Amino acid sequence: MRQVPITPSRQSSSLLKGVFSKQGWLGGVNAWQLGVGAIALLIASPVLVVLTGLFTPAREIWQHLAETVLSRYIFNSLALLFGVGVGVVGIGVSTAWLVTTCQFPYRRWLEWALLLPLAAPAYILAFVYTEFLEYYGPVQTGLRTLFGWQSINAYWFPDIRSLGGAIALLTLVLYPYVYLLTRVAFLEQSTRTLEASRILGCSPWQSFWRVALPLARPAIAAGTALALMETLSDFGTVQYFGVDTFTTGIYRTWFGMGERIAATQLAALLLLFVLALILVEQWFRRHGRYYQTRNRSVLSRYHLRGWRRWSALLVCLIPITLGFLLPALLLLIDGFRHLDRITDRQLWEYARNSLVLASLGAILAGAIALFLAYGLRLHPSRPMQFSVRLAAMGYAVPGSVIAVGILVPLGRFDNTLDAWMRSTFDISTGLLLSGTIFALLFAYLVRFLAVAFNSVEASLNRIKPSLDDAARSLGHSPASTLRQVHFPLMGSGLITALLLVFVDVMKELPATLLIRPFNFDTLAIRAYQLASDERLAEAALPALAVVLAGIVPVILLSRQIQKTDSAT
């Protein structure tokens, strides 16, 4: 290749045109752009398939659903959204304000412990609390012994397997989304603004209500939207509690009734709910732009005295205890009772399946996220930004919707290929792609690519563009620059991305349940199956393994929040 001399005055333009633009162009489009566009279209294809299901005629099936269960699906889904939304905002905002601006006992410990409920999936809490609070559980047994009650008719006790129980458990595991983003927003607020409110005579409550809360509104809206998206995608909790939602309806319509078209249209309707949530969150951000001075001086905390300090401690301890400490303790107790099952070959087989899927999913998601982020760095054009956001939108889509969007086209492909092979060669190929590890890994990519991309992009953006220019001036290609310059500098970001996707895959239930190969179970599936068969004690070991895996991202988030706090 002929070397083109580069002068300092024309370094940037000549390098971009000479090194990048002339290599791999096809009709004015670079190879990186083609690759990013193709990946984005492939990753987004399941969502597009689901949306096209809205135009498929299925009048009789919809009439049957409308007369029987559709109204219940809508009511329960809306009730879940409202209840969980109120709960996560109340717990997340109050605890974030207390640990950020107030001084009380154990505050430093509580600021990261409030993230612990993220480690426990909601369906695990559903199994644990059902065994703990049911009629033969220790709570009701103790109450009957204490008060001398003879039967269930002698007293009233709330039913955990209900819509209210599902709202409570989902709130306990999802409030950290609001807590984390709101706390960061409080930390980044200008101290001068808050001090001005105090000088003007505002009490701590008035300062919070009139100044800090409006400034944090975009962060609160973003955290609430994330929590509500997870609520809509939940399957294990609502299925176990017998609460009919769109997620359970998709599973029942597909496997129970065998109606794929109706299941696809239910998935499309659920997707519309998710899109509405995204639009609402963006509307809040659009109308919540508050500009302030970035003063990094330390704001003096409110030193709580007397009963207020212990009330603050109690407010923070309740969600930690109910959302993590108590369930973890109960799982440990049940796990010790069944330690003999650790030698069970099936348990190790489930663990191996989970580890293989999580490892492969993390590696694939990390590699594709790196390709997308670096392609966007090379060509930060609007089409590239649109392609990357299109590929990363899967995290907002429930796993059951993604499963339907994958199974429908793969099923058609397998059936078409099988019919052609039968007619041409009299050979049946069967299902080559449907219900395979390939399909399952593809579902994980669609669902969790955004998790890896956000971490990789943040790490890549911390590298100065001058390093790219230096590598280009030395004759390095984009791939060589990525391999020799960027890759060594973004090791922590890549490791974080891999760990986060690894743990998310370990906990994923609906997509795995719908797509997994025959007789191929994971720890999450096994815990769900045992709990569904009322073998709650036996479900403790696989459930405990899932919870332990979930602690990894919590530790990472805790370290990050401590760094943020120490920088203020």
* Tokens found for residue 124: 């695990």
Report the run of H or E that residue 103 belongs to, with start and end: strand 102-103
Spell out the per-residue pLDDT of the chain, length 568, in tens.
444 444 444 444 443 344 344 444 344 456 778 888 888 888 888 888 877 766 766 667 677 777 778 888 889 988 998 999 999 999 999 998 888 888 888 888 888 889 888 888 888 888 889 888 888 888 888 888 888 888 778 888 888 889 999 999 999 999 988 898 888 777 766 555 665 666 656 666 666 666 666 777 777 887 888 788 888 888 888 988 989 888 888 888 776 666 777 777 777 777 777 777 777 766 765 555 554 444 444 556 777 788 888 998 999 999 999 999 999 898 888 777 766 665 567 778 888 888 899 899 999 998 998 888 888 888 888 888 888 877 877 776 778 788 888 888 888 888 888 788 888 887 877 777 777 888 899 999 988 888 888 778 777 777 777 777 777 777 777 777 777 777 777 777 788 788 878 888 888 888 888 888 888 888 888 888 888 777 777 778 888 888 888 787 777 767 666 665 555 5
Report the distance separating Cα 242 and Cα 229, nearest Å.
20
Position 490 in a domain:
yes
Tally the domains of the chain. Answer: 1
Report the distance separating Cα 78 and Cα 232, nearest Å.
9
Position 276 in a domain:
no
Q: What share of the chain is helix, strand, coil (3-state, %, to 5)?
A: 80, 0, 20
Reported in sequence order, the residue ranges of 302-388 that DSSP labels E, i.e. its strands, are 302-303
Residue whose structure tokens are 């600021």: 111
Position 220 in a domain:
no
Give, in order, the Cα–Cα distances in Å from 47 to each of 11, 42, 74, 398, 526.
43, 10, 21, 10, 28
The pLDDT value given to residue 192: 57
CATH of the domain at 394: 1.10.3720.10
Position 383 in a domain:
yes
Report the run of H or E that residue 4 belongs to, with start and end: none
The crossing angle, in degrees rounded to 10, of helices 31-52 and 260-286 is 120
* Tokens found for residue 266: 């239910």
Report the distance separating Cα 313 and Cα 315, nearest Å.
6
Position 505 in a domain:
yes
* CB-CB contact of 493 with 410 (8 Å): no
Give, in order, the Cα–Cα distances in Å from 460 to each of 111, 129, 300.
28, 43, 35
Position 189 in a domain:
no
* CB-CB contact of 215 with 224 (8 Å): no
**28 φψ region: left (φ > 0), alpha (ψ -120 to 50), beta (else):** left
φ, ψ (nearest 5 deg) of residue 412: -65, -40
Nearest to 77 by CA among 244, 221, 235, 272: 244
Residue 397's SS3 state is coil
Give the residues across from 303 on adjacent strands.
103
AA letter at 357: L
* CB-CB contact of 161 with 244 (8 Å): no
AA letter at 501: V
Give, in order, the Cα–Cα distances in Å from 82 to each of 75, 96, 332.
11, 21, 33
Q: How far from the centroid of its chain's Cα atoms is residue 82's Cα?
A: 19
* CB-CB contact of 270 with 246 (8 Å): yes
Report the distance separating Cα 474 and Cα 109, nearest Å.
49
Give the residues across from 302 on adjacent strands.
102
Residue 102's SS3 state is strand
Position 412 in a domain:
yes
Position 455 in a domain:
yes
Nearest to 522 by CA among 388, 366, 392, 352: 352
The whole domain housing 457 covers 32-56+361-517
Report the distance separating Cα 284 and Cα 271, nearest Å.
20
Residue whose structure tokens are 């563009």: 465
